[in-house]
């Protein structure tokens, strides 16, 4: 039994590249994330090979629009049989409530998680954006909005996870920006190890390049899982 779910981000340009990776990656990976790049390239058909393999699907489209548009998008996406979806918390209460209601009305309701602050943003970006709170304060503020609107949980870096876990004991906490201590950070700003994320209360860890770009993806995924469970 793993301490959290490991989700591999299929950040590849097309279905062919996805298939190559799926053949390489180990069976113990139960969750895959399909994001904007792959979904824009292939549309919903790209989900079929994952469903055939019995994998759980995180469709990460980070919806942020007027309430009705988001509700319709949630319903349409859910009809393709996805387990988890993202919206942006800053879309506001009406948008979040519409998303939650649309999901609940689906035959197979997906869980909806709200992005609080992208893991690629730092405190300096907050200054640029005119936000005067700390990243943790902002996460809790947006978490309150999301949870009270009927959303299932938040996407956050592991550094805000404990504050969110304390405030919302039952929420899903999805943490991207996962790196081993010596790993290449790339464009991420708020990174943490798998074990740190789990210790802080994460329920799902999203990992892309450290596994997808590894010379040996099986070894990389195994090391992430071991670190998560230690």
Q: Which of 67, 201, 208, 217 binds ligand OMP (CB under 6 A)?
A: 208
Distance, CA of 190 to CA of 202 (rounded, Å): 15
User: Could you say whether residue 86 binds ligand OMP (CB under 6 A)?
Assistant: yes
Spatial CB neighbours of 208, under 8 Å, sequence gap ≥ 6: 8, 9, 11, 33, 176
**Cβ contact 93:123 at 8 Å:** no
Q: Closest CB to ligand OMP among 119 and 200? A: 119
5 sits near ligand OMP (criterion: CB under 6 A): no
The answer to whether 194 contacts ligand OMP (rule: CB under 6 A) is: no
Distance CA 220, CA 154 (A): 26
Provide, rounded to whole angstroms, the least separation between the CB of residue 53 and ligand OMP.
Answer: 20
Task: By CB under 6 A, name the one of 34, 46, 60, 112 that touches ligand OMP.
Answer: 60
Q: Which residue is nearest to ligand OMP (CB)?
A: 208
The phi, psi pair for 153, rounded to 5°, reads 175, -170
Minimum distance from CB of 176 to ligand OMP (Å)?
Answer: 3
Query: What is the footprint of ligand OMP within residues 40-59 (CB under 6 A)?
Result: none
- C-alpha to C-alpha distance for 36 and 12, rounded to whole angstroms: 10
Contact partners, residue 184, CB within 8 Å, separation at least 6: 209, 210
Binding flag, residue 119, ligand OMP (CB under 6 A): yes
Binding piece for ligand OMP, criterion CB under 6 A, among 102-110, 127-135, 139-147, 206-214: 206-214
3-state secondary structure string across 66-86: CHHHHHHHHHHHHCCCCCEEE
Residue 152 CB, nearest approach to ligand OMP (Å): 14
Q: What is the dihedral of CA 110, 20, 27, 53, to 10 degrees?
A: 50
Token pair for residue 19? 């298939």
Asked if residue 155 binds ligand OMP (CB under 6 A), the reply is yes
Residues designated catalytic: 62
Q: Which residues bind ligand OMP (CB under 6 A)?
A: 9, 11, 35, 60, 62, 86, 115, 118-119, 155, 176-177, 186, 188, 206-210
Cite the annotated binding site for substrate by residue number: 11, 33, 60-69, 119, 179, 188, 208-209
């Amino acid at each position: 039994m793993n301490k959290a779910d490991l989700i591999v981000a299929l950040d590849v340009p097309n279905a062919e590249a996805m298939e190559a990776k799926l053949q390489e990656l180990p069976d113990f990976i139960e969750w895959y994330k399909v994001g904007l790049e792959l979904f824009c390239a292939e549309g919903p058909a790209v989900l079929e090979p994952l469903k055939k393999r019995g994998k759980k699907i995180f469709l990460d489209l980070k919806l942020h629009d007027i309430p009705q548009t988001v509700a319709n998008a949630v319903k349409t996406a859910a009809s393709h049989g996805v387990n988890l979806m993202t919206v942006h918390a800053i879309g506001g209460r009406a948008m979040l409530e519409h998303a939650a209601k649309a999901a609940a009305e689906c035959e197979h309701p997906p869980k909806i998680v709200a992005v609080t602050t992208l893991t690629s943003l730092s405190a300096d970006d907050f200054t640029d954006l005119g936000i005067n709170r700390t990243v943790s304060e902002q996460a809790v503020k947006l978490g309150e909005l999301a949870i009270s609107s009927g959303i299932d949980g938040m996407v956050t870096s592991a550094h805000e996870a404990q504050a969110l876990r304390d405030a919302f004991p039952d929420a899903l906490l999805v943490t991207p920006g996962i790196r081993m201590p010596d790993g290449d950070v790339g464009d991420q700003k708020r990174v943490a190890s798998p074990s740190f994320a789990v210790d802080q209360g994460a329920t799902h860890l999203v990992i892309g390049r450290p596994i997808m770009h590894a010379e040996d993806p099986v070894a990389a995924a195994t090391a992430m899982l071991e670190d998560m469970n230690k």
